[in-house]
C-alpha cells in the first residue's frame, strides 16, 4: 500500500489517541479527536464497539506506532527485525530506533510542528548534520551529532514559528532556539520517550507471524 493521502485527523480518531498530525490544531485543542471524541470515523463510528480480540489489540498497537512516526509497513517491519537482533528489550530497542530517525529528532528539537513537516524539511535539503546536508528522513542520528538549519533556508520562518510553540526538549537532546541548532547528547531511555505506544503488544504481534 502506498502513502496515505487522506485526512490525517481521521487517523487520530481511528486510534483513539492524539497523534499530533496537525500540530497547531492539536496544540490549540481544535483537533477532530478533541472535538468529536475517540470514536472511529465514518458512519459506523457511533456504534458500541465489540470487545477487541488479542490480535486486534496487537494490530492496533502496531498501526498506531506506524502512524505516530510516519513509517510504512515494510520499513516498520525492518525496524522490528533489527530490534530483535539487539541485546536489549526488543520493544524498547524498537522505540529508540524510531526516535533516532532524523525527521523525529527535528520534531523533538522543536524545529517542526509535525513529523510530516520535519520530513519535508529533510527531503528538500534544508537540514544539515555535522555541517553536511542529509536528505534522508530515516537517517539514524548518533550521539554527539549536531543538527542545524541550512543557512538562508526559505523555511526558516516556519522553523522559528515552531520553536515558539515548543515548551522544552528531552534530556537526551540540546537545543539552541536562537541559532536554530540542536545536538544529540545520547540515545533516549524508554522513560524519556513521550509516546502512547505499547511496544510489547507490537513485539507480540510480530512474534506470532
Statement to judge: residues 147 and 200 lie in one domain:
no
Distance CA 59, CA 90 (A): 17
In a domain, 78, yes or no: yes
The predicted pLDDT at position 15 comes to 52
Statement to judge: residues 17 and 52 lie in one domain:
yes
Ranges of H-type helices in the chain: 9-15, 23-27, 32-36, 54-69, 73-85, 90-99, 102-109, 115-123, 156-164, 199-207
The predicted pLDDT at position 99 comes to 98
In a domain, 2, yes or no: no
CATH number of the domain residue 55 falls in:
1.10.1050.10
Give residue 75's domain range.
9-98+194-207
Statement to judge: residues 198 and 127 lie in one domain:
no
Statement to judge: residues 142 and 82 lie in one domain:
no
Statement to judge: residues 155 and 87 lie in one domain:
no
The predicted pLDDT at position 30 comes to 53
Statement to judge: residues 45 and 92 lie in one domain:
yes
Are 108 and 195 within 8 A, CB to CB? Answer: no
Statement to judge: residues 106 and 91 lie in one domain:
no
In a domain, 161, yes or no: yes
Statement to judge: residues 109 and 149 lie in one domain:
yes
Are 68 and 104 within 8 A, CB to CB? Answer: no
Are 159 and 111 within 8 A, CB to CB? Answer: yes
The predicted pLDDT at position 1 comes to 40
The predicted pLDDT at position 76 comes to 97
In a domain, 1, yes or no: no
Statement to judge: residues 111 and 78 lie in one domain:
no
| Tens-digit pLDDT string for the chain (209 aa) | 455 565 656 665 655 666 666 655 555 555 555 555 556 666 555 555 678 899 999 999 999 999 999 999 999 999 999 999 999 999 999 999 999 999 999 999 999 999 999 999 999 999 999 999 999 999 999 999 999 999 999 999 999 999 998 888 999 999 999 999 999 999 999 999 998 999 999 999 999 76
- Phi and psi torsions of 89, nearest 5°: -65, 130
Q: Using alpha carbons only, how large is the chain's radius of gyration in Å? A: 18
CATH number of the domain residue 128 falls in:
3.10.290.10
Distance CA 115, CA 18 (A): 13
Statement to judge: residues 177 and 106 lie in one domain:
yes
Query: Which of 62, 68, 134, 73 has the alpha carbon at shortest distance from 99?
Result: 68
Statement to judge: residues 13 and 40 lie in one domain:
yes
| Angle in degrees, 0-180, between the axes of helices 115-123 and 156-164, rounded to the nearest 10 | 150
- In this structure, what C-alpha cell is assigned to residue 185? 547528547
Amino acid at each position: 500500500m502506498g502513502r496515505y493521502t487522506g485526512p490525517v485527523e481521521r487517523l487520530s480518531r481511528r486510534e483513539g489517541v492524539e497523534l499530533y498530525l496537525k500540530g497547531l490544531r492539536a496544540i490549540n485543542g481544535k483537533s477532530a479527536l478533541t472535538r468529536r471524541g475517540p470514536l472511529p470515523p465514518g458512519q459506523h463510528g457511533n456504534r458500541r464497539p465489540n470487545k477487541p480480540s488479542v490480535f486486534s489489540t496487537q494490530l492496533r498497537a502496531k498501526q498506531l506506532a506506524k502512524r505516530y512516526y510516519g513509517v510504512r509497513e515494510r520499513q516498520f517491519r525492518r525496524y522490528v527485525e533489527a530490534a530483535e537482533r539487539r541485546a536489549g528489550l526488543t520493544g524498547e530497542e524498537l522505540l529508540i530506533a524510531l526516535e533516532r530517525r532524523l525527521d523525529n529528532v527535528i520534531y523533538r528539537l522543536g524545529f517542526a510542528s509535525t513529523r510530516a513537516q520535519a520530513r519535508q524539511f529533510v527531503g528538500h535539503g534544508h537540514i544539515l548534520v555535522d555541517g553536511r546536508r542529509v536528505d534522508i528522513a530515516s537517517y539514524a542520528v548518533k550521539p554527539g551529532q549536531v543538527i542545524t538549519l541550512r543557512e538562508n533556508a526559505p523555511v526558516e520562518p516556519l522553523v522559528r514559528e515552531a520553536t515558539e510553540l515548543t515548551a522544552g526538549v528531552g534530556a537526551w537532546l540540546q537545543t539552541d532556539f536562537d541559532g536554530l541548532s540542536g545536538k544529540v547528547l545520547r540515545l533516549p531511555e524508554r522513560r524519556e520517550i513521550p509516546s502512547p505506544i505499547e511496544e510489547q503488544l507490537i513485539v507480540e504481534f510480530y512474534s506470532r507471524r
